[in-house]
Amino acid sequence: MVLHQLTIHQLHDLLVKKKITATEATEALYRHIREVEGKIKAYLLLTEEEAFRQAGQVDRKIAKGEEIGDLAGVPFGLKDILCTRGIQTTCASKILEGYVPFYDATVIKKLKDKDAVFLGKLNMDEFAMGSSTENSGFQITHNPWDLKRIPGGSSGGSAAAVAADECVAALGTDTGGSIRQPAACCGVVGLKPTYGRVSRYGLVAFASSLDQIGPITKDVEDCAILMNAISGYDPCDSTSVKAEVPDFKQSLKRDIKGIRIGIPEEYFIEGMDPEVEKTLKEAIDSLGKWGAEIQRISLPHTEYAVAIYYIIATAEASSNLARYDGVKYGFRSRGYQDLMEMYTQTRAKGFGKEVKRRIILGTYVLSAGYYEAYYRKASQVRTLMKKDFDEAFQKVDVIVSPTAPTPAFRIGEKTEDPLQMYLSDIHTIPVNLAGIPAISIPCGFSHEGLPIGLQVMGKHFGEGMLIRVAFTFEQNTDYHLRKPSLT
């Protein structure tokens, strides 16, 4: 039994049967982290003292004969964009280096209430702006399947840590694909919930109308367990929705007979990697063999998705990141002569190149004379894209597509071409613009042994159906059981 390779449900069973302790599980994870972290570089900060304190509490409960929940004693990794009380939170940016929040994000509080164990804070693209985790202000994370390749982004540290067994599960955030795309690159499961399903309180904002917190796990059952824990209305978040939260574990059914699956013609585009296209078509054929009804559909405004996203997201980023000025918290430049020079020097030195690029773009599209031509027009087309999905879901139950147009690319391959980098999220961005849920699961491998992801999109608050389709696919294949040689 290799403790660091266990899933949430496997670890829970062993804890309940008293075959292992939470402290032993935590020790095993840290031991493995010390072995592989030098190559992966998934963590920005390890919180060993806190982790062993949390694990000890769980062990004492078990010793007293108290009942424990599904997440008790489970070692987690946390994307460093989630506020953690008393623990540094940097968003992988030098401008927040040394910032220690005095409160927990709602999702962190919920996991604490479930007695989860926090191993540390995970690397990411600075302020979640990127698709490769190369934009971190501190280090580049490497893909466990090939250390010369990117793990995806912006939740690259989270996906890499789960794939490399450096944590049992992790939390990520998804603004334009930042959970699903790295999950696909690293061969793990990643779910972006419906906008409003999971509280954003304590999530450091990038683009407020797009950001959503979600799970990155080793299998679909773990994803359902984690969704149960983090979902629900939160009065601290004005965008949180008062919607009933079902037991997502009830959706773990190996049955998709009669489920209508839509295949959007716009998602199988010219320039897609031939191996991705072939693997996806084989996966779709398999879904049909298992009883699903496959239909061709159209989402006509898809071609505008990337352009719309990079207008809306940068505009919101420009507004949200205005608060980092060196006055209230975080980094402050030295050697300035006056207030304006302090502002400009702090932001010039504190922000990375990609963050500056997006702030400038966002400021431009919001400026007088350009707001009507860009931001307002983008918002109107966004409404049309949502309408495309609404009409499609009158005909089908879920929509299936590739998660990313290519497997993980090499580190440095696209850093000098921002547009090519932005196109990495071409299949995931429409989901965020429409506010619907989507899940990515591994569905095959390239000839170089790199994972390929299958994306399943659903109706608003239809995560249960996504989990059912994903679980059926997973249980009929073994892609989720394969491990990179590093582990």
Query: 298 an active-site residue?
Result: no
| Annotated catalytic residue, options 79, 110, 192, 459 | 79
Query: 319 an active-site residue?
Result: no
DSSP code per residue over 149-173: B---SSSHHHHHHHHTTSSSEEEEE
CA dist 157 and 33 (Å) reads 13
Look at residue 468 and give its three-state secondary structure: helix
DSSP code per residue over 279-291: HHHHHHHHHHHTT
CA dist 346 and 325 (Å) reads 7
Look at residue 470 and give its three-state secondary structure: helix
Query: 263, 296 in Cβ contact below 8 A?
Result: yes
| Annotated catalytic residue, options 93, 132, 154, 158 | 154
DSSP state of 455: E
CA dist 47 and 120 (Å) reads 5
Residue 432 has which token pair? Answer: 């965020």
Task: Please measure the distance between the N-terminal and C-terminal CA atoms of the chain and give it in whole angstroms.
Answer: 14
Residue 25 has which token pair? Answer: 């599980």
Cβ neighbour number for residue 442 with a 10 Å cutoff? 26
Of 176, 238, 186, nearest to 210 by C-alpha is 176
DSSP state of 374: I
Query: 79 an active-site residue?
Result: yes
| Annotated catalytic residue, options 132, 155, 178, 318 | 178
Residues noted as catalytic: 79, 154, 178
